[in-house]
Structure 1
Amino acid sequence: MLTTEGSIMKIDKGTIVTPAGFQAAGMHTGMKRKRNDLGMIYCDVPASAAALYTQNVIKAAPLTVTKDSIAKEGKLQAVIVNSGNANACTGKQGEKDAYTMRRITAEQFSLPEYAVAVSSTGIIGLDMPMNKIIPNIEHLHPEAGEENASAFNEAILTTDTVTKSICHQITVGDKTVTMAGSAKGSGMIEPNMGTMLAFVTTDAAIEPDMLQMALEDVTDKTFNCITVDGDTSTNDMVLVMASGKAGNESLTPEHNDWDKFAGLLKQTCEDLAKMIARDGEGATKLIEVDVTGARNDAQAVKVAKTVVGSSLVKTAVYGADPNWGRLIAAIGRSGADINAQTIDASIGSIQLLQNSQPMPFSEAEVSDYLMNDDITIKVDLNVESGAGKAWGCDLTYDYVRINASYRT
């Protein structure tokens, strides 16, 4: 079934393997108690690749390996992923283990080593259980089926409560281009990609440098605009692979349909980012903060992320408390260039402030609105025309419970 959103068509049952050329697999090795914990994406041709990584100065070993692979030719054919162990802060042994995962995967699928990316997520500071990983790589049998995609989606999860995937199509010239994504992330989401992994596949024809440029622009507007708890992990990565099998003319900014492709990538990443925010550890509500009237777009995003990341705003949303004082305080400490006398603010359609002055409103009506699963907060700074959004979730008792017992 297709759902049309402008020129972008959502494929309701599309998966990470819907784009031509891609296959996936996932299995349980015992790194985790029940869920699948080893997964793979495979492309039957060398695919243009682009990636962005955590901004944490301390980076896990798999990121070093993936950077090394992409730097060779800008192409990948496989990604090997494990959950349950982050392989972070594990010294020279951790780096050796990550390279071993790459080598064994390459040998198993008759690929050059630089055609394989490696990704890990889970507990920091523990040696990798290579006795569970290496023997099971040969048992991964990627296929282009829905069950295989689901098995992969589960294999990348940690504290997530649901899998996260999306698929869209557009027309480029006279060719149909498909793009799909799978992601994990639930906590340590901020700033600028938290403990999240996102994998995007597409059959579009595009060179690696053009794909990297598009990804950098889109990530600033999507994955870098979500927050759960203000912590940043060591393993975060968003990786895009493009098989070129759609047969379109190679995409560049000069191509007539470049904006359509960039819009497709943005929609895919935004959908995944919002799924991550919605599934924040212990979360019950998705919060969207929409800021307009800022000095520029970057300032608008700065305000939006400050508001959605405020623990006091998050707890007010959880408790359905119409305490707009927390909202205005967050705006004021954002560091953005604002005029303290010109701020308009609304929760849902209910205006709370106009020109920084309180407006009469029904607290009961706002409380009722805050009981919804999806909450929108709108802020107009009335300075210039900058606009931006950020997404997050409420802060609940369960967040403490989950993180207090993460290792146990």
Structure 2
Amino acid sequence: MSVPDVFAPARLGPLTLRNRVIKSATFEHMAPGALVGDELIEFHRAHAAGGVGMTTVAYCAVAPEGRTEFDQILMRPEALPGLRRLTEAVHAEGAAVSAQIGHAGPVANGRSNGVHGLAASAFFNPMSMQKIRPATHADIERITRAHADAALLAVEAGFDAVEIHMGHNYFASSFLSPRLNRRKDEYGGSLANRAKVALGAARAVREAVGDRIAILAKLNMDDGVGGGLRPKESVQVASWLERDGSLDALELTAGSSLLNPMYLFRGDAPVKEFAEVFSQPLRAGIKLGGKKFLHAYPYQEAFLLETARLFRKELSLPLVLLGGITGRATMDKAMAEGFEFVAMARALLREPDLLNRLQKDPATPSLCTHCNQCMPTIFTKTRCVLA
């Protein structure tokens, strides 16, 4: 079989993207009052103008308590005007745009949101210094419906796709994790039980929007922590998602925002920079013990590829390869190994126009140094500090 050209048009469900490169979701912190701001529109317009096939608007919460913090888009009618301006700006540059919808679960900052967070089981969130309470059956039903409502709102706002967040130990991911899910009811115990929330959200979205827009999900392959979700179980969850026909593609990720965030962000661990964005006593705590939480992993190109191969072997569903995609050679390798799309984030923060330059000269090197100092900027306004 011929290897697809990463810069040629490609089908994604009902969409045709102008190329196979997706700007992956990175929380922008540019939504004051949980509404789209001008800076957020310009952020995604710049990535669209820079050549991506599709850009992803990060963390569009489906419920008030599902935000990681207050100034994060909350999918509700009041958000429609700003969301429409954003989709129109991206479309004017020739790219598609996806809304990453989801519920932050135990990662949510209840103190910032003014409402306690929810998770599979009780959990203490050091960011808010609050205990996350276990979701009731009524909570699970409400949040499942909220995913469908958010997807319908995305259609109304002109989005081309939605990406359901099932990773990083957010709400659905907290249920998938054996470490975080200690329930004794029908949502705990066996993998089939733990997968009900994720599968239910995907089914609800598909039933709500049909084939009007593309539907993706971001799924953890590996939580990167002892007792967490591991690849063997994740492959099984992915096969159930494929069986249901709920998704048009699956983006493969890893790591836990709660327990091991650097498992996704390979490279330097910016402990000092993280500490500086917080007030006391959390600042002192991060300076003293941050290295135990922010583990440094050596960077290499396509660092999630080895694990992702397990999924490619077992699934026919289109897959998006994430993690250490910075150059044309890596993109071509992903295409040669059967991945339909690649996703980029940090390299595009440094150079939003990197894709345009790679099309002109495949040998163009990325200027991203993998210092990860962009990570602490999600608490102010996400950016590359070296650009």
- Give the TM-score band, short-chain normalised: under 0.3
Q: Which has the higher strand share?
A: 1
Q: TM (normalized to structure 2)?
A: 0.24
Q: Which has the higher helix share?
A: 2
Structure label with greater radius of gyration: 1
